[in-house]
Structure 1
Amino acid sequence: MTVEISDATQILATGSGPITGDEYLPCRPDDVFWGDLPCAADTPAMTVEPGTSVTIDTLSHEGILADQGRDPRAFFGGHGVAPEMVLDEAIELCASDRPHRFGIDGPHVTTGPIEIAGAQPGDLVAMTVIETLRRVPYGVVSNRHHKGALPGEFPAGEANYSAFVSVDAIPDGSAFGVMPLDVGNPEATARFPLAPFLGIMGVAVAGPDRAHSVPPGPHGGNIDLTVMTEGSTLYVPVQVPGALAYVGDPHFAQGNGEVALTALEASLRATIRFDVIPAVEVNERFGALVAPIAETQDYLVPTGLDVDLDVAVQNCVRAAISVLGARYGMQPAQALAYLSAATDFDISQVVDVVKGVHARIRRSDFAR
């Protein structure tokens, strides 16, 4: 499918358009992390006080990787995207001598890290999504390298498969992804709502070695948690002084599971507020927190992580029991019974080596 996307007013270039945060962190090609995540030894891109909001530009990895030609103008041009509609950061990163080891490094581009003054191990960093803005009016869903939920079946043959998706924005502010049912017949399409979020939200790992960008962990990272849309907060256990927080892997939409390997990957400008929950308050609010936990207007969202999906579910159930006890004083046996009767446990993703599960506990069930 090719589309005519040529109106450059539809892109958010560096420094252009709305910047609503207290601070602004662009996605500079020389400063981003590509394939790995910050560690304790890395220098922060900026330092902020708790309570500060930062508008952060992020860059999707789709269209810049070696197996896609490391030439985003050519890659997206093949789908009808005019050269001026490709973000400069993507072009500059690919044109640089920045090393990226194909098949070894992760694919993701990450912006940061941001030092949060006073944050210490034992605390939580609270990352609240204030706003997400689309930087481009298109994105890509990929099934590559015989990965995903059906690695022996897709992609067919040796070729990687990338599905191009255009964005249909309507006057009421809603936006939809448009994908052809068959690339040979672009007139017949599927149209699905967008719900932008950042797949990578996390903090630096301890020690001198950076974490790989693909598997999530206690540091957060590539958690691919779809509930992290505007208004939601992710709480991540601090691993190093200052936390050194970062974001990346922007999505316009994703189904829980992310079964192809990627979801609708596309660049976002996100405004995030950073707060610190002191260690003395963590147990009272969340219990014995091991993995990150999210909170939305409607739900508490504990997570469970493991390479074994069964164990990830068990870890999520344990986290849910813990938070119910801490937040509401619920007896563990009663909490397990409640979860079985009233809570959905969703697969966050099955494609990032370490699989993720998240629970959605209705906050209204405990209104007093």
Structure 2
Amino acid sequence: MFGCSDEGGIARVSAEVRDAWASDARRARLRAHDASDAGAIESRYEALRDGRAAPADPTAASPSTGDAETTWTSTSAPVALGRTHRIPSTVDTVAQGIFDPNAAPVATIDSGDVVVYENTWTHFSNRLQPGVSADALAAMRRAIPGRGVHSIIGPIFVRGAMPGDVLQLRMLRLETIDFGANFHNPGALVTGSLHAEFAHGHVRYFDLSADDGYVYFNDRIRLALKPFQGTLGVAPAGDVPVSSVAPGRFGGNIDLKDLTAGSSLFVPVTHPGALIFTGDSHAVQADGEVNITAIETGMREVRMQVIVHKNAGWTWPFAETPTHWIALGMDTHLNEALRIALRQTIAFLHERAGLTRDESYSLASIGVDFRVTQMVNVINGVHAMIPKEIFAPDYRSTISVA
């Protein structure tokens, strides 16, 4: 789309200490205190828990930011939170619109560690700001041929990650800044689904500071805020830097709106160390992202856990939410993107759920929804929504992406 401090974990604690941390009211008071680091409190609480079966803290998830989602919602094996690495957006950590596998890592982490991206930049190296005109945005776009508009943070080197492995990027918290923008370019730039029908560019800025969990399109239309990173993945195959515009097997600019707090993206690794990149923060987006942008914004904080799954066997990305497994397909042709997502769905149902290929093809047709992720990034996307609820609980517990 154009458009380090460490927090050590404690493996075992007494029941009294664990119960004190587990008190919803106690943690809520701690988080609210001016002198407290709310993120550190939640991370430490997660590290102290013996298991993941405890009910989620109802005060921990804000509908406007999707933050503090530390409950284990993946069907992969739980992994305790490791060290926390904080990465602010600066001229040393951000590149304009490019995934460069040759760039020096901005951090080196271990499997299980937590990455906190602080104060991520908006598009055009943080030059997307309220009041910037559509013409100015178009001029910025023209000024960076061969690159995306995204402010790309990275790479992060993951010790032990090797080609053939899969990296799980588990989203814990996403909190937006207080504004965002939706825009389309003038038709001459040939972007957006109907560029020939919109000769002039247009930009609309939105206030994201409301505390009710909504963004207001006007006084009669509101949309629930569902923050996510539009661009998230690892270095693509090869040694040549690539534009951040087109997604692929490495993830990248997939614009999957379901990657909110509590979800995971599973990405196949092609380089030693994986080399994680992210950017393109969104406040809310619809499937398709048809005019070329979501509500583009920055994040006060993106918090995610990184987990290496050895020799997991996938060559395309998968995602997982508390309610669905999601197979992704991407291609220049939308029909082929659907076929790729379908083949991945069949492989998942056959290899992970134990169905025959014929049964998998059948279930995909009657129980799995195929949706257009986006069709504005040169490479189009389709994602298959495999609902967990159709599997009996004991059966469901045996199925996982990795």
Q: TM-score, normalised by structure 2?
A: 0.72
Measure, in 1, the Cα distance between the counterparts of 2:273 and 2:146.
29
Shift in CA distance, 73/145, structure 1 to aligned 2, threshold 3 Å: closer
The answer for the alignment partner of 2:117 in structure 1 is: 56
Shift in CA distance, 63/150, structure 1 to aligned 2, threshold 3 Å: farther
The answer for the alignment partner of 1:240 in structure 2 is: 271
Deviations 1:291-320 (A, max 9, x none): 210011111101000000000011110000
5+ residue gaps, structure 1, are 1-15, 65-69, 77-93, 181-187, 284-288
CA RMSD of aligned residues (A): 2.2
The answer for the alignment partner of 1:195 in structure 2 is: 226
Deviations 1:302-348 (A, max 9, x none): 10000000000111100000011111111111111111111111110
Deviation of 1:27 (Å): 0.5
Verify: 1:36 aligned to 2:98, yes or no.
Answer: yes
SS in 2 for 1:346: strand
Measure, in 2, the Cα distance between the counterparts of 1:246 and 1:336.
34
SS in 2 for 1:216: coil
SS in 1 for 2:350: helix
Which of 312, 316, 327 is 1:291 aligned to? Answer: 316
Measure, in 1, the Cα distance between the counterparts of 2:142 and 2:303.
28
Verify: 1:316 aligned to 2:316, yes or no.
Answer: no
Identity of aligned residues (%): 31
Verify: 1:133 aligned to 2:175, yes or no.
Answer: yes
Which of 149, 163, 183 is 2:204 aligned to? Answer: 163
Deviations 1:49-76 (A, max 9, x none): 1000111132220695xxxxx5747529
- 2:206 maps to a residue whose letter is V
Measure, in 1, the Cα distance between the counterparts of 2:109 and 2:252.
20
Which of 328, 345, 359 is 1:303 aligned to? Answer: 328
Deviation of 1:102 (Å): 2.7
Shift in CA distance, 46/358, structure 1 to aligned 2, threshold 3 Å: same
Taking the TM superposition and a 5 Å limit, the aligned residue runs for 1:24-173 are 24-39=86-101, 41-57=102-118, 58-61=120-123, 64=126, 70=127, 72=129, 75=132, 101-134=143-176, 136-146=177-187, 147-154=191-198, 157=199, 159-167=200-208, 169-170=210-211
Shift in CA distance, 71/120, structure 1 to aligned 2, threshold 3 Å: closer
Deviations 1:127-175 (A, max 9, x none): 00011111x2110011114221111112xx3x321111122523xxx41
CA contact (8 A) 1:126 1:276 kept: yes
Measure, in 2, the Cα distance between the counterparts of 1:304 and 1:340.
16
Measure, in 1, the Cα distance between the counterparts of 2:132 and 2:93.
24
CA contact (8 A) 1:321 1:335 kept: yes
Deviation of 1:239 (Å): 1.1
The answer for the alignment partner of 2:217 in structure 1 is: 179
Deviation of 1:366 (Å): 2.0
Q: TM-score, normalised by structure 1?
A: 0.78
Report which stretch shifted further, 41-50 or 358-367: 358-367
CA contact (8 A) 2:96 2:124 kept: no
Number of residues paired by the alignment?
305
- 1:226 maps to a residue whose letter is K
CA contact (8 A) 2:263 2:322 kept: yes
Shift in CA distance, 153/63, structure 1 to aligned 2, threshold 3 Å: farther
Verify: 1:270 aligned to 2:302, yes or no.
Answer: yes
Which has more strand, going by share of residues? 1
After TM superposition, which residue ranges in structure 1, 4 or more long, deviate above 3 angstroms?
Answer: 16-21, 70-74
